């Protein structure tokens, strides 16, 4: 789908994949959270020359095709979804950007255990820090209550996150981050 804005704006590409509904006990869904982190980082690691996720590194820092790259799994029910949003640099070719996105998604099939561990650790710490915000606490209580559970590490997804390995990330990406469940939109601005 292509949408043209009537006001000046940078071009954007939005990807949204339908995924399984939120389940705090699902290692597969936690693996998608790790995949988002691997793509868009930051991921501090002694083994990495860059603290950024691979997609962010390529599109923003190396190739200069985008100015912003964000990804996250949205914890909703019926269905769940995973989103990836890109703000393109001036004159960036959306087809070229899409090619890089698809290459980096394919690279998740061979992600290293060390990168997964670094992403998992960063994600876990970020989630813990987020619980300092009242809205995050309310959301955690809401999800646990809806599932008939008490608020705990398990109901916050930390137990499933701790179990995620490289094979889990590869399998989740191969199952969910594919064209069959994808809606993609390219947003452009009218020429002045």
pLDDT band at 55 (very low <50, low <70, confident <90, very high): very high
User: Which CATH number fits the domain that encloses residue 31?
Assistant: 3.30.830.10
Alpha helix positions (H), the chain: 27-40, 54-56, 94-107, 113-130, 134-146, 158-163, 166-176
With a cut of 80, say whether residue 78 has pLDDT above it.
no
Is residue 81 within 8 Å of residue 74, measured between CB atoms?
yes
Using one digit for the tens of pLDDT, what is the confidence trace for 175-185?
Answer: 999 999 999 99
| Total domains, the chain | 1
Residue scoring higher pLDDT (18 or 139)? 18
Q: Give me the pLDDT at residue 183, please.
A: 95
pLDDT tens track for 80-117: 899 999 999 998 999 999 999 999 999 999 999 999 99
**Taking 80 as the threshold, does the pLDDT of residue 35 lie above it?**
yes
Contacts of 150 (CB under 8 A, 6+ apart): 144
Both structure tokens of 134: 């009242």
Distance (Å, whole) CA 30 – CA 110: 18
More confident call, 167 vs 22: 167
Q: Which of 69, 58, 76 is nearest to 10 (CA)?
A: 69
**Range of 33's domain?**
2-189
CB-based burial label for 8 (10 Å; 0-12, 13-18, 19+) = exposed
Model confidence at 151, pLDDT cuts 50, 70, 90, reads low
Q: Given pLDDT bands bounded at 50, 70 and 90, which one contains residue 189?
A: confident
**What is the DSSP annotation of 128-162?**
HHHTTSHHHHHHHHHHHHHTT--SSTTTTTHHHHH
Across 140-146, average pLDDT:
73
Which token pair is 146? 């809806």
């Amino acid at each position: 789908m292509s949408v043209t804005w009537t006001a000046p704006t940078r071009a954007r590409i939005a990807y949204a994949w339908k995924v399984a509904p939120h389940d705090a006990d699902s290692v597969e869904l936690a693996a998608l959270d790790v995949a988002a982190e691997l793509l868009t980082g930051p991921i501090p690691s002694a083994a990495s020359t860059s603290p950024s996720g691979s997609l962010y590194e390529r599109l923003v820092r190396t190739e200069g095709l985008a100015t912003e790259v964000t990804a996250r799994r949205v914890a909703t029910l019926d269905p769940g979804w995973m989103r990836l949003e890109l703000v393109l640099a001036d004159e960036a070719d959306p087809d070229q950007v899409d090619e890089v996105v698809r290459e980096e998604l394919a690279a998740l099939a061979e992600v290293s255990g060390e990168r997964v561990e670094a992403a998992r650790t960063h994600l876990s710490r970020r989630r813990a820090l987020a619980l300092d915000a009242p809205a995050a606490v309310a959301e955690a209580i809401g999800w646990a209550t809806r599932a008939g559970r008490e608020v705990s590490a398990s109901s916050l997804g930390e137990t499933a996150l701790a179990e995620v390995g490289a094979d889990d990330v590869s399998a989740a990406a191969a199952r969910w981050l594919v064209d069959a469940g994808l809606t993609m939109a390219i947003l452009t601005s009218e020429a002045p």
